[in-house]
Structure 1
Amino acid sequence: MRTSALISTDQALKLINEDNAIVLDATIDKVNEKMDNSKLSLIPNSQFFDIEGVFSDHKSGFPHTMVSPEQFSKETKKLGINQDSTVIVYDRWGVYSSPRAWWMFRYMGLEEVFVLNGGEPAWKAAGLPIVDDYRTPEAQGNFKAKPNYEWFISKEELVERLGDDDFTITDARSSGRFHGTAPEPREGLRSGHIPGSKNLPFDQVLDGINYQDDMELQRLYEGKIDSGKQNIFTCGSGISAAIIALGAYELGNDYVTIYDGSWSEWGADTEVPVEKD
């Protein structure tokens, strides 16, 4: 039976008490806002899922590029993650980078992975215990990545498929960046969007620290995704694309594909087409 990827604090409490549970803080800084790490505020038994460090391919030239299956396996084993682990991911913003961690695990073949809706702020607001340090895993895990390529698309494949009608593209950037009326925060990138894509700014699918309810999500995604097609999500660097991808998953779309290079790659390549409207 298909289960939701989003869990409440009550559901997280039950999962965390299972023997095979792994709790991961997947926090990263936002583009123009940094998290204060001078005093950590964490859910008990958390480990750090280092998206910008060991879980990014720094040789790619683009931010947050997905690592190889071998690298992913190596680093998840260090976190004590096994083939049968249940992984609970959260971030200290509420919902920002935790969906990226969720997508990475799903792409690499782990199905029992969940995002805490509202993250650490929701946990704290519920009056649940907070700690100020990460735990050290007791033993090495045995997880081995087996990528599911329906969750991932490259620039080359996307270029080849432009003009086909068997997929949708939804862009999580702001309206101004999507339409080319606002500058890109990264230097050297053209303005505009991938031809044929639709715009759904990621902050619209959130209600403060939580996701919008299903009724509002249905309204927001209307005309942008199609359950009978492959739904591809993109953004600036692959982080907020995962936010709207998770929203689409919650609406019943089993395979949500992320264009990992996103605008950091597409906007820098003068050989690929760009639309402005």
Structure 2
Amino acid sequence: MYFPSSLITTAQLQKEYEKPNVILLDCTIDKVGQSLKDAQLALIPNSLFFDIENTFSDHSSPLPHTLVSTEIFTKGIQELGINQNSIIILYDRWGVYSSPRAWWMFKVMDFEQVYVLDGGLPAWQEKHEPIADQYIKPLAKGNGEARFNRAWYADKDYILTQYQNSGTRIIDARSQARFTASAPEPRAGLRRGHIPYSSNLSFDLVLEGNNYRSKEELKKLFETFNATHEQIFSCGSGVTASILAFASHLIGNQNIKVYDGSWSEWGQEDLDLPIAQ
């Protein structure tokens, strides 16, 4: 492992970001009701854009942010100049929001040397490090190749076989109000509630401002979820679920999956899947 943890600090990045085998990816996407598209572009120097919304989402699916095929993922990362031995560092301009989603995508595609910058761009700016206003262009096409690793992935059919299993914990990253059906869903056409037998851990609880909480604090948050159990993380569209999945990974849990469709799929009225409130 290139770094001692999958979560790296600005000080660690400052020493590494100019090295030729380091690939620095801005993974920013819009939040629900919030966008940075009209803001002046501010980046860590040497950044490439990992376009989750377009290049790396399956637009043949009606669901948001659905994972693409290995062929499309391979083509996309090769165009970014990513090699099989690249050191991949991910960040986003919000702080910590979509970078863990990108981390999970790379893990599903069987890449090992993948890291998330704690605090993202705001943490970099707080240290008065240099800022760029445009992305760099890859020097050459990469040779990185995706291989689907099902150990990290859950879909609707898998959830249906596991949600009543006492050895599986489904952990929902949505707010408690959405989990308990006391608040409406932000996307139209979705029922309220949660997957039966699932638990709620709102994603913002693992964060303190723009950063992840300490490992000791994370362990306390996860102590009710037996580490020997399989953990499947869900949310609205698979983004904030990845924030929890990464937090669980940081404290040593290894049997981790993200439900790619999440509530955008499970809550659909026409699917009539089992729901608890």
Q: Which residue of structure 2 aligns with residue 215 of structure 1? A: 216
Aligned counterpart, 1:237:
237
Q: Which residue of 2 aligns with 1:49?
A: 50
- Cα distance in 1 for partners of 2:164, 2:37 equals 45
| Residue in structure 2 matched with residue 258 of structure 1 by the alignment | 258
Q: Say which SS state the counterpart of residue 23 (structure 2) adopts.
A: strand
Take 2:146 and 2:201, find their aligned partners in 1: how far apart are those partners?
31
Match in the other structure for 1:146: 147
Give the 3 Å change call, closer, same or farther, for CA 144–184 of structure 1 in structure 2. Answer: same
Match of 1:29 in 2: 30
- Aligned match of 2:9: 8
- Give the secondary structure class of the aligned counterpart of 2:19: coil
What is the Cα deviation at residue 102 of structure 1? 0.6
Counterpart position of 2:165: 164
Q: Which amino acid aligns with 1:205?
A: V
Shift of 1:12: 1.2
Matched residue SS, 2:232: strand
> What's the offset of the Cα at 1:235?
0.2
Please state if 1:92 is matched with 2:101: no
> Where does residue 136 of structure 2 map in the other structure?
135
2:97–2:243 Cα contact (<8 Å) kept: yes
Q: Which runs of 4+ in 1 moved over 3 A?
A: none
TM-score normalised by the chain length of structure 2: 0.96
Cα distance in 2 for residues equivalent to 1:119 and 1:94: 4
Shift of the alpha carbon at 1:36?
4.3
TM-score between the two structures when normalised by the length of structure 1:
0.96
Residues 170-209 of structure 1 mapped to structure 2, 5 A cutoff: 170-209=171-210
- Counterparts of 2:38 and 2:105 in 1: how far apart (Å)? 24
1:183-225 Cα shifts (integer Å, max 9, x gaps)? 00000100000011110111111100101111211121121x3
Cα distance in 2 for residues equivalent to 1:94 and 1:208: 8
Structure 1 runs not aligned, ≥5 long: none
SS in 2 for 1:241: helix
Look up the equivalent residue of 1:230 and give its one-letter code.
E
Contact 2:152 2:258 in 1 (8 A): yes
How far the C-alpha of 1:38 sits from its partner, in A, is 4.1
Residue 102 in structure 1 maps to residue 103 in structure 2: yes
Give the partner amino acid of 1:71. I
Letter in 2 for 1:248: S
Cα RMSD of the aligned pairs, angstroms, is: 1.3
What is the deviation of 1:95?
Answer: 0.3
Q: What amino acid maps onto 1:154 in structure 2?
A: D
Alpha-carbon distance, 1:67 to partner: 0.3
Which one-letter code corresponds to 1:198 in the other structure? S
SS at match of 2:115: strand
Q: How many angstroms apart in 1 are the aligned matches of 2:30 and 2:41? A: 14
- Please give the per-residue CA displacement for 1:40-91, whole angstroms capped at 9, x wherever unaligned: 1000010100000010001110000000000000000000000000001000
SS at 1:104 equivalent: helix
Provide the rounded CA distance (Å) in 2 between the counterparts of 1:265 and 1:96.
21
Bigger mean CA deviation after superposition, 66-75 or 162-171: 162-171
- The 2-side partners of 1:254 and 1:126 are apart by 33
1:264 partner SS: helix
Q: 1:255: how far off? A: 3.6
- Between the aligned partners of 2:247 and 2:220, the Cα distance in structure 1 is 12
Q: 1:37 to 1:78 in 2, by over 3 A?
A: farther
The code of the aligned residue for 1:143 comes to G
CA 1:165–1:3 in structure 2 vs 1: closer, same or farther (change >3 Å)? farther
Q: Is 1:246 aligned to 2:242, yes or no? A: no
2:57·2:65 contact (CA, 8 Å) conserved in 1? yes
